[in-house]
Amino acid sequence: MRTPFAIFAPMTQTKLDLTGLKCPLPALKTRKALKSLKPGDRLEVHCTDPLSVIDIPNLIRETGDRVEITEQAERRIVFLIEKTDGLSPADLPS
């Protein structure tokens, strides 16, 4: 007998090391990495570019995914992004 949870694929978490890259590369590489993820998967992005605190959340607003800054130190920013179904607020009916 199958349990109801057997139909769900396990979530994956991928780490993307973008340290040392400057704008716009962190946002562009994050966008590319998100395309290969399935809803529910997570992407952990490590950056050193101070502009990434603006660029990556703006990218995530466009894609409709979820983002959280889990670490912001003097030289490192870590984002945890959860892939959603891909509907951005602009895609929703008004």
At residue 55, what are phi and psi to the nearest 5 degrees? Answer: -65, -45
| 23 is annotated as an active-site residue | yes
SS3 state at 39: coil
Residue type for 72, please? Q
Instruction: Indicate the burial class of 36 (C-beta count within 10 angstroms; 0-12, 13-18, 19 or more).
Output: exposed
Specify the length of the chain in residues.
Answer: 94
Q: Which of 21, 23, 33, 51 is catalytic?
A: 23
Q: Catalytic positions, please? A: 23
